[in-house]
């Protein structure tokens, strides 16, 4: 099926991670021109290919602006932005024990970084007049996640308040531009390493119809669909959940 992404100029943030790297590969397979962002994992980002590999701390306003300046200079503009970058704090901490420092760091690394990325991209849309933004949220933002209220709150803000505001704002400067969200459930990636062994899979999939975790390529294909004007040209303001039919309740008994 033709996606219409050949030759499109694409930025993938968090391109050194599992989901980000899979997105880079998926766009490259469609013959898009891909800029790969990383924070600390330059070697991993380079391994996924891409026309440009550039580092930045996405919680730093000046670095985000410099990132987009560099991408624009290298690619001559930007058609698609995929905001993957984010951090899941693995330690299970209930709210009554949650330090303010972790709360603020998690929101900064997941919500503020996405806001700064989206803001910079919308400024590109004002120049280009068209484009597609796909942000990565999480099922934690849809159903909550005990022990990770900070992460759930950040991703909920991305999937709801930020998304629904942006899809209405973006058409003021680019009438055909679209903004959507992919919300992955449990996915095999460097961020979840050690948390998806067989015993954990048995536990976490008790709320899922399909008793398996996703692969990064599952998420990348959803991103590709939403990024494509050919496939999803009339889709905006939507959350595409890729989570094996996850529900906010247990639907399988313990073995």
The DSSP H or E segment spanning 106 is helix 100-107
Residues contacting 41, CB < 8 A, separation 6+: 16, 17
In 3D, which of 55, 13, 53, 18 has the Cα closest to residue 190?
18
Backbone angles phi, psi at 108, to 5 degrees: -65, -40
Residues contacting 43, CB < 8 A, separation 6+: none
* Rounded Cα gap, residues 59 and 116, in angstroms: 7
Active-site positions?
151
Tell me the β-bridge partners of 180. 134
* Rounded Cα gap, residues 80 and 166, in angstroms: 15
């Amino acid at each position: 099926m033709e996606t219409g992404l050949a030759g499109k100029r694409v930025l993938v943030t968090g391109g050194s991670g599992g989901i980000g790297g899979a997105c880079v590969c998926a766009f490259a397979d469609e013959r898009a021109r891909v800029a790969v962002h990383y924070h600390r994992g330059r070697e991993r980002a380079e391994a996924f290919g891409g026309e440009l590999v550039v580092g930045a701390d996405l919680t730093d306003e000046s670095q985000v602006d410099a990132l987009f300046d560099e991408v624009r200079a290298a690619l001559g503009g930007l058609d698609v932005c995929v905001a993957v970058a984010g951090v899941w704090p693995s330690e299970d901490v209930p709210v009554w024990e949650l330090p303010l420092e972790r709360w603020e760091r998690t929101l900064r690394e997941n919500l503020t970084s996405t806001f700064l990325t989206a803001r910079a991209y919308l400024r590109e849309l004002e120049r280009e007049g068209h484009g597609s933004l796909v942000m990565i949220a999480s099922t934690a933002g849809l159903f909550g996640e005990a022990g990770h209220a900070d992460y759930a709150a950040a991703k909920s803000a991305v999937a709801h308040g930020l998304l629904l505001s942006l899809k209405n704002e973006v058409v003021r400067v680019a009438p055909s531009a679209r903004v959507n969200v992919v919300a992955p459930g449990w996915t095999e990636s460097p961020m979840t390493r050690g948390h998806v062994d067989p015993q954990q899979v048995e536990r976490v999939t008790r709320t899922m119809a399909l008793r398996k975790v996703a692969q990064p390529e599952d998420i990348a294909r959803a991103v590709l669909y939403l990024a494509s004007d050919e496939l999803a040209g009339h889709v905006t303001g939507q959350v595409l959940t890729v989570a094996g039919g996850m529900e906010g309740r247990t639907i399988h008994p313990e073995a």
